[in-house]
Amino acid sequence: MIGLMIEENLMEPQPPPTLPTTFGCLRPWRADDLPALVKYANNRKIWLNLRDGFPHPYTEENGRAFIQAAAQRPAFFAIATPEEAVGSIGLSINEDVHRLTAEMGYWLAEPYWGKGIMSEAVTRITEYAFEHLGLVRIYAEPYEHNQASCKVLEKAGYTLEGRLRKNAIKDGQIIDMFLYAKVKE
């Protein structure tokens, strides 16, 4: 019986912790983040740099579904100022022999670009993943045109491992991607 309870506890999704940052914090998504999420995510400039699974236009329904799904994931964080959620950063943990690795994805509300927020968020989440999630490798795959994201990854100590040639079709264009990774030392 106790064994069963422990097993059930392990199955229960645990929300991520709140991690303080200079701009505010990285914290679990909340239902009341919906208006800010929809306001900022509904931006073609953001969509152009993400996979097509990120909707555009971005509706309230999309936002509600995302907030619900994020609650089931161990490392999907809202990037938040003291006032509101201004972006998203998350780890998709892989399976099978890749289970100690995760892909990192992120976006930031356009009014907050260029203030160092994502460089700090990526650094903080990478530390958290190595210290608390048992992961040994985090990677990200920015599109070749995304110099800002490449810079963010380099500032957070990621290494460019290669160019993935013709790895995506985005907005009708076949494009290369870069593979950046950081491993636990």
Tell me the residue type at 131.
E
Our finding on whether 126 is near ligand COA (CB under 6 A) is no
Find the shortest distance in angstroms from Cβ 50 to ligand COA.
6
- The separation between the first and the last C-alpha atoms of the chain, rounded to the nearest angstrom, is 40
Our finding on whether 117 is near ligand COA (CB under 6 A) is yes
- The residues, ordered by sequence, that sit 6+ positions from 127 with a Cβ below 8 Å of its Cβ are none
Which of 20, 35, 114, 157 is in the footprint of ligand COA by CB under 6 A? 114
Our finding on whether 177 is near ligand COA (CB under 6 A) is no
Q: Which stretch binds ligand COA (CB under 6 A): 58-66, 108-116, 125-133, 160-168?
A: 108-116
The beta-carbon contacts of 36-41 under 8 Å, at least 24 apart in sequence, are 36/84, 36/85, 36/86, 36/109, 37/63, 37/66, 37/67, 37/85, 37/88, 38/62, 38/63, 39/109, 40/85, 40/86, 40/87, 40/109, 40/110, 41/88, 41/107
- CA 131 to centroid of chain Cα atoms: 17
Our finding on whether 78 is near ligand COA (CB under 6 A) is no
Our finding on whether 149 is near ligand COA (CB under 6 A) is yes
Question: How many binding residues for ligand COA (CB under 6 A)?
Answer: 21
Our finding on whether 116 is near ligand COA (CB under 6 A) is yes
The residue among 114 and 157 lying less far from ligand COA, judged by its C-beta, is 114
Supply 160's token pair: 């460019």
Which of 40, 66, 106, 158 is in the footprint of ligand COA by CB under 6 A? 106
- The footprint of ligand COA (CB under 6 A) covers 46, 49-50, 106-108, 113-119, 140, 142, 146-149, 151-152
